[in-house]
Amino acid sequence: MSAAIDWAKLDVGYDWTTSEVYRPTRLEVDDASTLPGAVYSDPDFHDLEKQRVWHSSWVCVAEQSDVLTPGTMFASDVAGTPIVLTRDSSGALRGFQGETATVGSLEELPEVPSSHVGCALGLVFVNLNGEAPPLREWLGDLVPWLEDYEKALTSGQLIATHRTSYDIAANWKLLIENFLEYYHLPAVHPALCNVSGVDEHQRFQGRGMYMGFATHPLTKGGTAIDPGRLPPFPAIKAHRHETAYHLCIFPNVFFSLYPEAFFRVRLTQQSPTRTVEYATLQTHAAAMEAPDASAILQEVFEFWDNVNTEDILICENVQLGTSSPAYTRGRFSFRFEETIHRFQNMVIDKMLVDEPTRFRVPVGDDDTTFLELTARSKDEIKAPKESTVAAAQRARANADA
């Protein structure tokens, strides 16, 4: 049994390089406390995080649709280090460190080694210092499991119909953590609940540097994103037609993969208390050819833009709350915040550079996947598990009895 935590000592002046400060978050989720509120605003944490978390991770720097045509240049960055992406005449994707505006030619910039640039699920990733495990390992079972989607998401087949950005007065981790829990849906996004109901949410989590959960089945609620308004991505399995997969790939990209079109958000950290998000609405050629496609996609975009703006407003308020000296740490909500516990432990793994956990890729669940990772057809899917809400209510009733 580990020694008791001396809270009075722990939450006074933080040394972010020691394991002690993270010990309450390292506990099993039922006993754990969250990271201290200071991680959302402390400049010292932010400076360490840039090097230890962002530079040594596979950071999403673009949508593949941003750099599709040979000769295109796309400016991005990894935690303040500017990157230029380009596709050369042979079709190869290349990354350079620096800004083209300040240098005459791209060739004068140092090139990011090709092994530190990778693509998957329609996204471009860069691992700046080359220390991270290979991208395939980083993503774990996500790509094999989304194999049918992966074909549809491969460069050239994914069509970006709308792009926008958001300048946000909140730490990047709050935006990720907000995406990772869904009990705020009824209070913050009542319209979204008509399609992706809280009771229809289910946990699924495989191995990989990602957090996942799902909504099954999707329901029709008279909204812009009702299932069936556009044809689904070609060649995806039948059971995907009524399921949304909510995925966050560590550290900086999240999206809800809906069968017809989806809104994807890439985060860039600008300062401890400022984040810029780049969002893209993605669909495919067959959807573009459907009757009224452009009007429907405009409505879908406006729906997600509204949901994301609602999320940003609550995150900016939470930013103020976590900055209060009265707030130190919180607890994790049973079943609803296992995703946040997983995310915060990935941050800790990276912050503790001398620990053997630095580059571990966490395992997934043995038994809480409602759609089996290996299921390839509807017949192979076992009976749906009880929803997360039902499981939490049952556990509560048992505890009260």
Query: Could you tell me if 126 and 111 are in contact, meaning their C-beta atoms sit under 8 angstroms apart?
Result: no
Segment near Fe ion (CB under 5 A), from 3-11, 56-64, 79-87, 305-313? 305-313
Segment near Fe ion (CB under 5 A), from 226-234, 306-314, 365-373, 376-384? 306-314
Q: How far is the CB of 181 from Fe ion (least distance, A)?
A: 8
Segment near Fe ion (CB under 5 A), from 137-145, 222-230, 241-249, 311-319? 311-319
Among the listed residues 89, 277, 99, the one whose alpha carbon sits nearest the alpha carbon of residue 174:
277
DSSP 39: G
Tokens 């997969």 -> residue: 245
Q: How far is the CB of 318 from Fe ion (least distance, A)?
A: 12
Segment near Fe ion (CB under 5 A), from 51-59, 230-238, 308-316, 338-346? 308-316
Each residue 205-244 as x (binds Fe ion by CB under 5 A) or -, in order, gives: ----------------------------------------
Neighbours of 180 (CB within 10 A): 22
Q: How far is the CB of 185 from Fe ion (least distance, A)?
A: 7
Each residue 76-115 as x (binds Fe ion by CB under 5 A) or -, in order, gives: ----------------------------------------
Q: How far is CA 89 from CA 68, 146, 340, in A?
A: 11, 30, 42
Q: How far is the CB of 189 from Fe ion (least distance, A)?
A: 5
Segment near Fe ion (CB under 5 A), from 112-120, 310-318, 344-352, 369-377? 310-318
| Alpha helix ranges (H) inside 62-130 | none
Under the binding rule (CB under 5 A), the answer on residue 311 touching Fe ion is yes
Q: How far is the CB of 188 from Fe ion (least distance, A)?
A: 5
Segment near Fe ion (CB under 5 A), from 86-94, 263-271, 304-312, 388-396? 304-312
Neighbours of 290 (CB within 10 A): 15
Neighbours of 320 (CB within 10 A): 13
Nearer to Fe ion by Cβ, of 277 and 311: the residue is 311
Q: Give the separation between CA 91 and CA 70, rounded to whole angstroms.
A: 6
Q: How many residues bind Fe ion (CB under 5 A)?
A: 1
Residue least distant from Fe ion (Cβ) = 311
Under the binding rule (CB under 5 A), the answer on residue 277 touching Fe ion is no
Q: How far is the CB of 314 from Fe ion (least distance, A)?
A: 7
Tokens 């295109």 -> residue: 72
Which residues, 6+ apart, have CB-to-CB distance to 190 below 8 Å? none
Nearer to Fe ion by Cβ, of 29 and 265: the residue is 265
Segment near Fe ion (CB under 5 A), from 100-108, 123-131, 268-276, 303-311? 303-311
Q: Give the separation between CA 31 and CA 235, rounded to whole angstroms.
A: 43
What is the DSSP track for 151-197? Answer: HHHSTTTEEEEEEEEEEESS-HHHHHHHHH--TTHHHH-HHHHTTS-
Under the binding rule (CB under 5 A), the answer on residue 177 touching Fe ion is no
Q: How far is the CB of 179 from Fe ion (least distance, A)?
A: 7
Nearer to Fe ion by Cβ, of 311 and 337: the residue is 311
Q: Give the separation between CA 117 and CA 101, rounded to whole angstroms.
A: 22
Torsion sign (Cα): 65, 68, 74, 77: positive
Among the listed residues 332, 327, 250, 248, the one whose alpha carbon sits nearest the alpha carbon of residue 34:
332
**Residues found near Fe ion in the complex (CB under 5 A):** 311
